């Protein structure tokens, strides 16, 4: 009886966000003969909590790629400052920012559309990965159907809850549950974009942002009792602002990482690689991860183009990410300063780098 030959991909990329898309796009420009599959578990109804703001570093990378954002990706309003609120100490400061307000799902789909058609995009969620001799077996669920995908190498670009990282590497030591709710914009006087600190409910930060016809409130909370802390902080913020969000039309939640030491950064080993938040490449102070995700995707693609073996690719990739890891370590130090009530009060009281809005008449 003739046996069916298994189709084994050169690389299986788990995750079709900015990290996975940039890696696939850049890799195929230098290695067109590689057989690659991207596992895309995204859908409009399963979007991860994200403010959807494109930071200057991410804008700079898109400029270096000679890319321009389509109008359909952008959201109203465009925002020029962040209103920083300390609920405990009743302090408010404004800081200029140069982010682009966009629809995160549309942005991800736009990046995905830039991947050459020779790369297979497979819709489904990777539930399990195991190593068998010289290849990986990935269990991917699409609806009610279980699929098995085989690959010589695997790249985890699947965020804070990365199945690749938890299958083969040490997990992040500090993770939060990010919870975000959407409310209809009915003229509530909520900050267009704010960063919120409330030490009674979280040792991290939260945010509000206007997005088209909606107002978003979200934050990062300790896993234990996260929903209770979220609701409590929302009530405290409403009392502080003397306004209410109203009834939520959508709630999103996911794991989010907060790197605190060099050991939290893991680029991979052997033929398994990690990108973006899965590698620990996310800001501990603001949870901004889009720029690090895209940069790490580019850095790994460059390593694959230069390296001749998996150990060499790993070495080059780790070297490429040195500056990124140093920058993110500084973000961890910044987080300590901002999330400690005493130092935060000191910074906000002095008004360093803040702007002063004109009085409204």
Q: How many C-beta atoms surround the C-beta of residue 164 within 10 A?
A: 27
Structure confidence at residue 62 as a pLDDT band (50, 70, 90): very high
Taking 60 as the threshold, does the pLDDT of residue 191 lie above it?
yes
307-335 residues labelled b (16+ CB within 10 A) or e (exposed): eeebeebbebbbebbeebbeebbebbeeb
pTM of the entire structure?
A: 0.94
pLDDT at 13 exceeding the cut of 80: yes
Distance CA 224, CA 215 (A): 26
Condensed to tens digits (0 to 9), the pLDDT of residues 192-231 reads: 999 999 999 999 999 999 999 999 999 999 999 999 999 9
pLDDT at 1 over 70: no
The pLDDT of residue 33 is 82
Domains of the chain: 8-51+102-171+262-336 (3.50.50.60)
Closest to 55 in 3D by CA, of 327, 298, 286: 286
**Spatial separation of the C-alpha atoms in residues 8 and 38, rounded to whole Å:** 13
pLDDT tens per residue, range 105-127: 999 999 999 999 999 999 999 99
**pLDDT band at residue 280 under the 50/70/90 scheme:** very high
Spatial distance between the Cα atoms of 282 and 236, rounded to a whole number of angstroms: 28
* C-alpha span between 13 and 23 (Å, rounded): 9
pLDDT tops 90 at residue 279: yes
Concatenate the DSSP letters of all residues of 259-283 into one string.
Answer: --SGGG---EETTEEE-GGGGT-S-
Q: What is the pLDDT of residue 3?
A: 36
Match 């234990």 to its residue by tokens. Answer: 224
Distance CA 257, CA 205 (A): 13
């Amino acid at each position: 009886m003739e046996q069916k030959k298994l189709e084994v991909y050169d690389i299986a990329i788990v995750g079709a966000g900015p990290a996975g898309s940039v890696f696939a796009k850049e890799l195929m420009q230098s290695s067109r003969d590689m057989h690659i599959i991207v596992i895309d578990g995204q859908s409009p109804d399963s979007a991860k909590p994200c403010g959807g703001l494109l930071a200057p570093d991410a804008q700079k990378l898109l400029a270096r790629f000679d890319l321009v954002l389509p109008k359909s990706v952008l959201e109203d309003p465009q925002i020029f400052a962040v209103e920083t609120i300390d609920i405990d100490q009743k302090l408010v400061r404004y800081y200029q920012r140069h982010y682009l307000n966009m629809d995160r799902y549309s942005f991800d789909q736009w990046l995905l559309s830039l991947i050459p058609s020779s790369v297979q995009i497979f819709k489904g969620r990777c539930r399990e990965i195991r190593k068998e001799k010289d290849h990986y077996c990935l269990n991917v669920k699409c609806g009610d159907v279980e699929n098995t995908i085989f690959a010589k190498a695997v790249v985890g670009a699947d965020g804070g809850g990365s199945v690749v990282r938890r299958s083969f590497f040490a997990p992040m030591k500090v993770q939060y549950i990010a919870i975000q709710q959407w409310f209809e914009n009915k003229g509530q006087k909520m900050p267009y974009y704010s960063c919120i600190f409330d030490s009674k409910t979280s040792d991290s930060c939260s945010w509000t942002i206007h997005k088209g016809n909606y107002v978003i409130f979200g934050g990062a909370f300790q896993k234990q009792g996260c929903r209770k802390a979220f609701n409590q902080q929302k009530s405290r913020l409403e009392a502080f602002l003397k306004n209410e969000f109203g009834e939520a039309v959508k709630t999103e939640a996911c794991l989010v990482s907060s790197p605190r030491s060099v050991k939290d950064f893991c680029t991979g080993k052997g033929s398994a690689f990690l990108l973006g938040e899965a590698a620990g490449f996310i800001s501990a102070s603001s949870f901004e991860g889009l720029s690090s995700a895209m940069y790490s995707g580019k850095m790994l693609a460059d390593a694959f183009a230069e390296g001749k073996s998996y150990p060499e690719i790993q070495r080059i990739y780790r070297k490429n990410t040195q500056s990124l890891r140093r920058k993110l370590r500084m973000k961890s130090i910044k987080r300590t300063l901002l999330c400690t009530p005493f130092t935060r009060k000191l910074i906000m009281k002095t008004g360093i780098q803040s702007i002063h809005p004109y009085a409204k008449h």
